[in-house]
Amino acid sequence: MKQKKLFFLTMLTMLLLFTAFSFNDRFFKITRSMSIFASLYKEVNAFYVDETNPNKLMKSGIDAMLASLDPYTTYISEDRIEDFRTLNTGQYGGIGASTIQIEDKTYISMIFEGYPAHGSKLQIGDQVLAINHISITDKSRDDINKLLKGQNVTEVILTVKRYGFDAPMDFRIAREKITIENVPFYGLLKENVGYIKLNEFTYNASRNVKNAVNNLKKQGALSIILDLRGNPGGLLVEAVNISNIFLPKGSAIVSTKGKIEENNTAYRAMFDPLDTKIPLAILINSGSASASEIVAGVIQDYDRGFLVGQKSYGKGLVQTTRRLSYNAQLKITTAKYYVPSGRCIQMLDYAHRRPDGSVGSVPDSLITAFKTRNGRTVFDGGGIDPDIEIEEHHLPPVVQSLTTQGFIFQYATIFHHDHEKIAVPVQFHLSEEEYEMFLKWLNKEGFTFKTNAEEDLLNLKSYSQKEGNWKVIEHAYKQLQDKIQKQKKSDIYRYKEDIVRLLEKEIVSRYYLEHGAIEAGFDEDPFIQKTIDILSSSEKYARVLE
């Protein structure tokens, strides 16, 4: 007995000594590294051949260090705190308008209803020339946003050039607190299907979604679509509370597990649900991340509804903020989150980088199968898979070029100038004659674009010239070039459907702002149409969840 006690005490002592040694060894490494970095930083600033910017140099070092961990662990300097606060709260001091840059020119791209820019009669499509009489030529978008933002009640003067008017116009606008709408649209679609668009999980997102569901039910909604496409996430508590709208009080929603005990938390539905029975569908795509994936994963795990779309982004990491000196902050990854089935949907394995520093996905050998409440098989390690997959639609080069070069945007401005009013968003459609007018304008503006085949052909020419084979293939090359040019001329008609859809949406935004732009694409949206088809049939709905 004494020997057993002695053995136990010996092992315990060795364990404590090992732990103390490990802690002291780690502490020594941290102290030594900090000392080396401080002396190196001092020497570089003192003796480098050219003048250095101490703040910029330090930030570069911090950013590079954190980038070796993951993209979500970031340093937030004092001058960026306001931007960080906007991301979390959706609030900022400004005029209620966003901008876009096209060929080094800045245009008003959206005006938010009910805010100062809207009341000032500023228009989407106005080219911004100066802010507070400061020319914005050659200024970055960040610099322009800083000039537009400011304290509530303070005034900002925008000098703009408007299509159809020769002289610039000045707009004197008083800033106020702007709250970015996390639910920019909800409404009743055909077959009594309620639709809610959620852009971000900022403060009060759950309250806004709950209000939308309530109002839709009063309007006669018999089922609900929650659209999380392109939603990058946000506050975890909002994801928990949105899940709670459709799940019973006490339901396990999500758990977080990290290195430190305080980061291990289990979140449950804290409130009485709004509706645990109404048929539910969630729309997701590759842009649905983080909190979006929590809601989608929870609904899928409980078989409370079905998911439509494409595989989600795959971000299963939780970030918290830590205060630093001089009013700076650190946003740091502290845990991974797990949905009720037990799966973590993190796709990229930042802990095990390749020799070249790149990051790979979680290997197939480590992906585990889990079961939903009804026994359906789901997997971890690779985002959330939809129950009904919709093939991703890639815009062809001609359509991409029309968008990126600003031709769609600019023509919508011209159309708005020439037409005092249009039909409501769901009824507005360009006529054949109006589309032909658009094509004539494109031709006059000298629109050109390059196809992927054209790029590959140019590379072929370059390689063949380097290898001395150009004369052999020159004739065949020119024949292919002619065929590509003929094909390009027909692309403007071949992809008319895509072009018209984008053009109609942009035009509608000029008259009905963000609300109208969302509503304009419903009839041609394959995600929504497929979802309505399933929700309108109780048999189809039940089969998806079997």
Active site residues: 290, 301, 315
* Chain length of the chain: 546
3-state DSSP call for residue 225? strand
**CA-wise closest residue to 228 among 179, 315, 286, 300:** 286
CB atoms near residue 296 (< 10 Å): 29
The DSSP 8-state label assigned to residue 326 in this structure reads G
- Residue 110's DSSP bridge partners are 98
What lies within 8 Å, CB to CB, of 20 at 6+ separation is none
**Other C-beta atoms lying within 10 Å of the C-beta of residue 20:** 10
Q: Quick check: 371 and 342 in contact, CB under 8 A?
A: no
What is the token pair recorded at 401? 């070029």
Tokens found for residue 398 = 């001609």
Q: Which residues pair with 189 in a beta bridge?
A: 193
Q: What DSSP string describes 341-391? A: TS-----B-TTS--TTS---BPPGGG--EEE-TT--EEESSS-PPPSEE--
Integer CA distances (angstroms), 1 to 4, 8, 12, 13, 447, in order? 5, 11, 17, 18, 92
Q: How far is CA 264 from the centre of its chain?
A: 27
231's tokens: 């939603």
255: CB partners within 8 A, 6+ apart: 264, 265, 266, 267, 337, 338
DSSP classification of residue 468:
T
